[in-house]
Amino acid sequence: MGKTVKHRSRVAQNPNQPNLRQVHLIHSELFDELRDAGFRVEPGQLGENITTRGIDLLGLPTNSKLYIGRTAVIEITGLRNPCAQIDHFQSGLLSAVLDRDDSGNLVRKAGVMGIVLTGGEVRVGDPVRISLPAEPYRPLERV
């Protein structure tokens, strides 16, 4: 919560930078992928606030808006950058949520971060409507 960053390492760098990490969303397809790789990870165990299915969260452009339920609106700010602490939950998990594309670029699969534009109650099964920003789109970067 709040307009300025709360994460300890980011506060140490600059406590006045904007808080772009108010809400963490993960696509449940990641849990399927992790399960297929031998991990036991369930929704909520990686710190996410909202789990989706059927939405290419990682492919959304920066500043996409997600309308969830009746009133909640989340603006996507960037990719979650998983840290080594994830391996304390299950050994090898950090490597499993990172990948490389065909060009060798790092692919972060641990979900996206966003800010709350409009609060509201979010329930299991709520519909999610996506509103893309004006073009040109900016791809998600780590936040």
In this structure, is residue 97 part of a structural domain?
Answer: yes
Q: What pLDDT score was predicted for residue 71?
A: 96
**139 within domain boundaries:** no
Residue 5 lies in a domain: no
pLDDT of residue 8: 72
Domain residues for the domain of 96 are 17-131
- For the entire predicted model, the pTM comes to 0.90
Per-residue pLDDT in tens (0 to 9) along the chain, 143 residues: 678 777 777 777 878 888 888 999 999 999 999 999 999 999 999 989 999 999 999 999 999 999 999 999 999 999 999 888 899 889 999 999 999 999 999 999 999 999 999 999 999 999 999 999 999 999 999 99
The number of distinct structural domains making up the chain is 1
Q: Is residue 76 in a domain? A: yes
CATH of the domain at 71: 2.40.33.20
CA angle (52, 20, 23) in 5-degree steps: 30
Q: Verify cis geometry, omega within 30 degrees of 0, for the bond prior to 61.
A: no
